[in-house]
């Protein structure tokens, strides 16, 4: 079975390596086609390597590939390409469908206070994450999970799921199909996840979840990192915990070696793992107690 893969970064590389080992990787469409790791994986498999523009310039139409798989692919696959594959195209989505369609969904899962999440394999259709579901795997979201750790785990488990699906296809077996109830669909867009300002009217739990969802350390966040306004530039915040204290939303209650304690809706949080100008910094001296930190909409 000859499979064409489209996608980027570690998630796509994991799938590429597994497909290569199984003897199925025949082509790879990626914006990272000139990276040594990508070239090495494709070369080992003897796979055709194309820029991801090949999905829209007609290259993908001139193929003898049996299936198209997309994994962490930022480029929409045109309808004419999907037509060429005659319904034999699948996507690995790192969230449960239809509730978490779109981008950065693991981040939104943390922000929304979810305790369980899923990675999903579904048929590709012209819409975003709208096709019938083939398989899904559910797992718990830990209380200290970060944006990076959940993103990485979602695609690691999703890769295992995708390979199970590929084994079924290679054996000639049919795939199950479940239509999505699109009345339950929520589409998360990149532009909706770029604001790293904290709303101090949020509950302590909401503030903590917002901060950890934006924490991709030691990598850079693809969207936001929670930050505080400061006269010398923004202070990045990577971790927080609820504290039993009260004050006006945004009021600095203390700035000690343990962290910066700030009041929020119904309680307070202690902010730790602070950074300024890319370097770790400590809370003492950053703000005077009683300072009201600005939040979203100036609140």
Q: Is residue 298 part of a domain?
A: no
| Number of domains the chain contains | 2
Residues 146 and 236 in one domain: no
The whole-chain average pLDDT of the chain stands at 93
* pLDDT tens by residue, 118-168: 999 999 998 899 999 999 999 999 999 999 999 999 999 999 999 999 999
Q: Is the pLDDT of residue 296 over 90?
A: no
Last residue of a domain, one of 142, 164, 188: 188
Residues 31 and 90 in one domain: yes
Structure-model confidence comparison of residues 255 and 86, the more confident one: 255
Residues 206 and 246 in one domain: yes
- How much is the pLDDT for 153? 96
pLDDT mean over 65-89: 90
Last residue of a domain, one of 188, 217, 235: 188
Q: Is the pLDDT of residue 63 over 80?
A: no
Q: Is the pLDDT of residue 60 over 80?
A: no
- How much is the pLDDT for 19? 94
CATH number of the domain that 103 lies in? 3.40.50.170
* pLDDT band (50, 70, 90) for residue 75: confident
Residues 79 and 41 in one domain: yes
Q: Is the pLDDT of residue 297 over 80?
A: no
Q: Is residue 297 part of a domain?
A: no
Residues 173 and 232 in one domain: no
Residues 160 and 215 in one domain: no
Last residue of a domain, one of 188, 222, 250: 188
- How much is the pLDDT for 58? 72
CATH number of the domain that 217 lies in? 3.10.25.10
Residues 50 and 119 in one domain: yes
Task: Identify the top-confidence range among 74-78, 84-88, 279-283.
Answer: 279-283
* pLDDT tens by residue, 98-113: 999 999 999 999 999 9
Residues 13 and 110 in one domain: yes
* pLDDT tens by residue, 171-205: 988 999 999 999 999 999 999 999 999 999 999 99
Percent of the chain past pLDDT 70, that is, above it, reads 99
Residues 172 and 25 in one domain: yes
Name the residue range of residue 29's domain: 3-188
Q: Is the pLDDT of residue 243 over 70?
A: yes
Helix (H), strand (E), coil (C) string for the chain? CCEEEEECHHHHHHHHHHHHHHCCEEEEECCCCCCHHHHHHHHHHCCEEECHHHHCCCHHHCCCCCEEEEECCCCCCCHHHHHHCCCCEEEEECCCCCCCEECCHHHHHHHCCCCEEEEEEEECCCCCCCCCEEEEEEEECCCCCCHHHHHHHHHHHHHHHHHHHHHHHHCCCCCCCECCCHHHCCEECHHHHCCCECCCCCCHHHHHHHHHHCCCCCCCCCCCCCEECCCCCCEEEEEEEEECCCCCCCEEEEEECCEEEEEECCEEEEEEEEEECCEEECCCCCCCCCCECCCHHHC
């Amino acid at each position: 079975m000859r499979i064409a893969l489209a996608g980027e970064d570690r998630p796509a590389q994991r799938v590429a390596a597994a497909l290569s080992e199984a003897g199925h990787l025949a082509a790879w469409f990626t914006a990272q086609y000139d990276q040594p790791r990508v070239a090495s994986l494709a070369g080992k498999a003897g796979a055709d390597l194309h820029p991801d523009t090949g999905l829209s310039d007609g290259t993908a139409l001139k193929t003898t590939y049996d299936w198209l798989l997309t994994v962490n692919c930022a480029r929409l696959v045109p309808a004419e390409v999907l037509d060429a594959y005659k319904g034999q195209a699948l996507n690995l989505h790192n969230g449960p469908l239809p509730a978490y369609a779109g981008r950065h969904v693991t981040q939104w899962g943390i922000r929304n206070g979810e305790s369980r999440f899923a990675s999903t394999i579904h048929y590709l259709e012209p819409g975003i994450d709208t096709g019938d579901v083939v398989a899904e795997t559910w797992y718990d979201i830990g209380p200290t999970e970060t944006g990076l750790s959940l993103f990485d785990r979602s695609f690691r488990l999703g890769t295992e799921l995708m390979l199970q699906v590929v084994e079924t296809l290679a054996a000639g077996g049919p795939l199950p199909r479940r239509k999505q109830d699109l009345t339950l669909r929520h589409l998360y867009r990149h532009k909706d996840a770029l604001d790293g300002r904290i709303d101090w009217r949020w509950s302590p739990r909401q503030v903590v979840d917002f901060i950890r969802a934006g924490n991709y350390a030691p990598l850079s966040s693809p969207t936001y990192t929670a930050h505080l306004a400061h006269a010398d530039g923004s202070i990045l915040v990577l971790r927080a915990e609820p504290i039993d204290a009260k004050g006006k939303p945004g009021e600095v209650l203390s700035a000690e070696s343990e962290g910066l304690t700030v009041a929020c809706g119904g309680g307070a949080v202690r902010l730790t793992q602070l950074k300024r100008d890319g370097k770790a910094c400590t809370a003492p001296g950053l703000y005077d107690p009683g300072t009201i930190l600005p939040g979203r909409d100036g609140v």
